[in-house]
Amino acid sequence: MTEPKTPDVAAPTGLVKKNARDGKSNATIYDIAKVAGVNPSTVSRALSKPGRVSAKTQKLIEDAAAELNYHVNPFARALPTGRTNTFGLIVADITNPTFFDIIRGAETTATLRDYTLVLAESAESAVTELTAARRMMATVDGLILASPRMDDDDIRTIARDKPVVVINREVDGVPCVVPDVNKGISEAVRSLAANGHHKVAFVAGPAQSWMSARRWEGVQAACEWSRLDAVRLESTKPTVDGGRQVARDVRASGATAVLTYNDLLAIGLMQELQAAGVVVPDQISIVGFDDIFGADFTTPPLTTVRSPLGECGSGAATLLLDLLHGAGEPTATLRVETELVLRGSSGRLLPAG
């Protein structure tokens, strides 16, 4: 079969074609087709539809592909199919260590399943978040929203276009990965009750944070169960700085134990209290949430309700990838367990001197 059926299809049309495949330009299925002596569409099938072509042809094509060092062009594939083997992850704040483990979990799972992770952050703004999500929609197969700030309807709207998985929040009709706060919180509160505390303060997070609301509910319920007083305080922002700022209110509240929306608040709060001469945990116990990187750098190291963040990230990625491949419930909610990590910042209340 040496006779060319279609003689000079590629006759020089005057176009500046970089015909010399000088190492640069990549091999295409047309090149493979020529080498293997088959039609390009056969090459395409051999490479992406297992079993569609005969074993003999398959081998022929694979050899040619290997010889030419062929790699599919992702854009050429994405154009007709819409599939990109890519998914997006939008986090509220890249520098917030809460998300580090989520990012890593998602990235690891993505790579493992031959997907690429595209990252964006919303800077804690619902508008930025929506913009980022919209922008990504065009280029990804699916989206993971970690602690989204936009409202439920926006999330559902996006979820109508492409598979979406939400972390740290429950949205009706959208698959979610949420830590179940109750176990960890009740362990924490019971520990505080056992150590002689009677009044507990909860420092809340951002108003739009679904998780902050759940944690406050959990704290209330657990306190009721243990017959402790519970009071809710507001923070300006869920950061170390926000924690410092809330120290006044904490002292004014008369609570002897504090749970904060997250570890950053707890760390800032502890720093400020210690700077003012308050001894932790003798005079006040502090418990954070999440067990972020650095939570054990403090003196005393921070007691905290751990959320398995890495698991959240990889769980969300798995959920999403299953969805993309047609497996799994379209709206399953994955619940992961929380647990108390008892360190030095909480303990027995010493009688006031």
Give CA–CA dist 170/182, Å, rounded: 15
Residues 6+ apart with CB under 8 A from 249: 233, 234
Burial code of 200-234, b = ≥16 C-beta within 10 A, e = fewer?
bbbbbbbebbbbbebbbebbbbbbeebebebbebe
| Residue span binding a copy of itself (CB under 8 A) among the ranges 57-65, 111-119, 195-203, 321-329 | 111-119
CB contact at 8 A, 285 and 258:
yes
CA distance 233 to 14: 74
| C-beta separation of 63 from 56 below 8 A | no
Nearest CB to DNA, comparing residues 58 and 346: 58
Residues 170-209, one symbol each (x = binds DNA by CB under 7 A, - = not), give ----------------------------------------
Determine the size of the site formed for a copy of itself (CB under 8 A).
45
Contacting range for a copy of itself; rule: CB under 8 A; set: 35-43, 136-144, 182-190, 216-224: 136-144
Cβ closer to a copy of itself: 127 or 332?
Answer: 127
Return the range that interacts with DNA (CB under 7 A); candidates 45-53, 253-261, 264-272, 299-307: 45-53
Q: Is 48 in the site for a copy of itself (CB under 8 A)?
A: no
Beta strands 339-341 and 303-306 are: antiparallel
Burial of 328 (C-beta count, 10 Å sphere; 0-12/13-18/19+): middle
Distance (Å, rounded) from C-alpha 346 to C-alpha 12? 79
**Candidate segments 37-45, 119-127, 281-289, 341-349, binder of a copy of itself by CB under 8 A:** 119-127
Compute the radius of gyration of the chain from its Cα atoms.
28
Binding site for a copy of itself (CB under 8 A): 3, 9-10, 24, 71, 73-76, 78-79, 84, 86, 94-95, 97, 100-101, 103-104, 107, 111, 116-121, 127, 131-132, 135-136, 138-139, 153-154, 157, 161, 267, 293-294, 297-299
Binding site for DNA (CB under 7 A): 5, 13-17, 25-30, 38-42, 44-45, 47-49, 51-57, 70, 72-73, 76-77, 79-81
